[in-house]
Amino acid sequence: DFKKVEIATEGEVRSFTIVTFAAPGVPVPFVAAIINCGGTSVRANVINCDPTPEVVSLGMKVRLATYSLGNDDNGSEAIGFGFEPIK
């Protein structure tokens, strides 16, 4: 069974990797991370920053954001969720 739970929209990076090799058509590099969000953890990409260890760090404060994943054959835009640094 599934149940609804509230998840904080801000958190901090608990773990991350910079992905440099992915399936065909997936742009690289990108940051895949585990984000601590007020009592639970989620897996998400860190977006809207350079995917380098000089920019992304453990404990970095982030917030939920949306970004374009591209358009399908009908021109409909797909929207994804990620976390961006809090500046």
Is residue 84 very low, low, confident or very high in pLDDT (cuts 50, 70, 90)? very high
Cis omega (within 30 of 0) on the bond before 29? yes
**Residue ranges with strand state E in 1-87:** 10-19, 30-37, 40-46, 61-71, 77-85
CB contact set of 78 (below 8 Å; sequence gap of 6+): 68, 69, 70, 71, 72
16-43 pLDDT, tens digit per residue, is 999 999 999 889 999 999 999 998 999 9
Contact 18, 50 (CB under 8 A): no
DSSP single-letter state for residue 3: -
At 25 the pLDDT is 84
Mean pLDDT, the chain, rounded, equals 95
pTM beyond 0.85, yes or no: yes
